[in-house]
Amino acid sequence: MRNALKLVAVAVAAVVVAGTATAQSTADDIAKYREMIADGNPAELYEMQGEELWRTLRGPKKATLEKCDLGMGPGVVKGASARMPRYFKDTGMVQDLESRLLTCMETLQGIDPKLVIDGKFNSGERKTMDALVAYVVTHSKGDAIKVDMSNPKMKELYALGERAFYYRAGPMDFSCATCHGEDDKRIRLQDLPNLTTHKGAAAGWGSWPAYRVSNSQFWTMQHRLNDCFRQQRTAEPIYASEVTIALSVYMAAKANGGEVMTPGLKR
Amino acid sequence: MKMKLIVPLALAAVFAVPVHAASSDELDMKAREMMKDSFKETGIAKKHRMLQLDFQEACSQAKLPPTAVMKQIEAEQMKTIKWPSDGKYYGDWKEGEKIAISGRGLTWRDKADAENGGGCYNCHQLSHNEISYGTIGPSLLEYGKLRGNSDEMVKYTWGKLWNAKAYNACSNMPRNGDAEILTEQQIKHLMAYLFDPESPVNKR
């Protein structure tokens, strides 16, 4: 199963890379690729791993995550990520999926969040996080994005997220809006969703986390945001820091009512 | 009896105080703090990159600043433009093409002494041959052929490459010369790429 999936991924990655005659044909190739693997997005491997990890005794407390409360009650995964970020009474904070998982790992398993926050992508506990995220988001696929904006902290983070979105800084004077503030724009052949509109936000927020064909990696939303800032030439956003939550609230609120398509499949 | 009633009421009053909604100014201040505290230094990407220059701050909203502010920014930025030290505007278009294609440089994974690219193709169409181009900026196909090479056009183009904000305060385009993204020599190569009749930007 694993090998078969990997082969398909490699073969079609080649098709996608070779077929860059025009923007349209690239989009077509990716659409074709999505069709081919409709029953087997390589993210499935991460999901299977994540499901296993969810039930594995880990950390100093040798506990599982089966009592982790993602906002729907202890252990409920179905529909949870469609409603995140959300305000959590127990921590008194608005949390996205990843920062909430950090809370569960710390309180239930005794795993130090610093292992993830100060870690490196694609290794160690961040790799564990990838799998857990893939597992959780798969269980909201097809649901409507349904973020509850009634809490004042959610409203404040939305306002801060909007400010972060337009914040120009660094040697290239870029902000998120430079690339994601207008309809029908591209970088090279890559289509850019306009995240200031419901349609664009639903397309962007609704399809991440995703499996990336070009580098055969599963990327969480924290990873996606991190790489946006890298290309903006800012300093590096701290994992699960306020700006990452604020931007997530901003995008999710704009996307409200759209469809959850996670795990997505990307170039 | 009375006390029993009063205490719960007093408590209820405390809890009923609505959460203070932050004003727009307070949110601006919180956002500034957030943009400082949420980032760390990695490699060459130092934390001071999160501090805004005046014009960056003025251009950090969905709406453009008032015309008078834009004009003032443009006048300030115009002063930063350095004209070619030897009076020569053109380098080699073949080198220019490499610079236009490369989008490398200045991220936290890049080295301090690495040569930066111009990243032109990320946003602009340029050559007849390169089909992988972005659309954030206007098409520059047949740039020299369509516009000619009058002194005015050549100077405008140099200035725009050096500091785009001198002509449009909130332009999406980086200040290639002013922010030391590209060297004077690299900008000369790009000038040749845009104007040389033999460059694939102009020659089919």
Catalytic residue check, A176? no
A73 to chain B nearest CA, in Å? Answer: 26
Do A211 and A86 share a structural domain?
yes
Could you tell me the two tokens for B95?
Answer: 């080198």
**Domains held by chain A: number:** 2
Q: What CATH number has the domain bearing residue A125?
A: 1.10.760.10
Do A145 and A32 share a structural domain?
no
Q: What is the pLDDT of residues A38-73, one digit of tens each?
A: 667 889 999 999 999 999 999 999 999 999 999 999
Give how far the C-alpha of residue A247 lies from the chain's centroid of Cα atoms, to the nearest Å.
Answer: 12
Do A214 and A128 share a structural domain?
yes
pTM value is: 0.89
Do A45 and A33 share a structural domain?
no
Sign of CA dihedral A157, B109, B194, B197: negative
Comparing CA positions, the residue from A49, A102, A43 lying closest to residue A262 is A43
Structural domains of chain B in order of their starting residue, each with its CATH number: 47-204 (1.10.760.10)
Do A73 and A15 share a structural domain?
no
In angstroms, the CA B49 to CA B41 distance is 9
Do A25 and A55 share a structural domain?
no
Do A137 and A18 share a structural domain?
no
A92 to chain B nearest CA, in Å? Answer: 14
Taking every pair of Cα atoms in chain A, the longest distance, rounded to a whole number of angstroms, is 55
Q: How far is CA B103 from CA B99, B119, B150, in A?
A: 8, 4, 30
Do A140 and A15 share a structural domain?
no
Range of the domain at A90: 41-266
Residue A16 has pLDDT above 80, yes or no: no
Q: What is the pLDDT of residues B60-84, one digit of tens each?
A: 999 999 999 999 999 999 999 999 9
A173–B contact, CB cutoff 8 A: yes
Do A95 and A1 share a structural domain?
no
Could you tell me the two tokens for A168?
Answer: 């120009």
Mean predicted confidence (pLDDT) in B76-99: 98
Cβ within 8 Å, pair A21-B131: yes
Q: Least CB-CB distance to B122: which of A177, A187, A234?
A: A187
B17–A contact, CB cutoff 8 A: no
Q: What is the pLDDT of residues A205-257, one digit of tens each?
A: 999 999 998 899 999 999 999 999 999 999 999 999 999 999 999 999 999 99
Query: What percentage of chain B reaches a pLDDT higher than 90?
Result: 89
Q: What is the pLDDT of residues B153-188, one digit of tens each?
A: 999 999 999 999 999 999 999 999 999 999 999 999
Q: Least CB-CB distance to A163: which of B28, B37, B121?
A: B28
Do A46 and A35 share a structural domain?
no
For B176, nearest residue in chain A (alpha carbons): A172
A172–B contact, CB cutoff 8 A: yes
For B133, nearest residue in chain A (alpha carbons): A188
CB A113 within 8 A of CB A101: no
A263 to chain B nearest CA, in Å? Answer: 27
Do A33 and A155 share a structural domain?
no
Could you tell me the two tokens for A47?
Answer: 């999901």
Do A233 and A132 share a structural domain?
yes
Cβ within 8 Å, pair B122-A188: yes
Q: What is the pLDDT of residues B44-64, one digit of tens each?
A: 999 999 999 999 999 999 999
| ipTM computed for the complex | 0.89
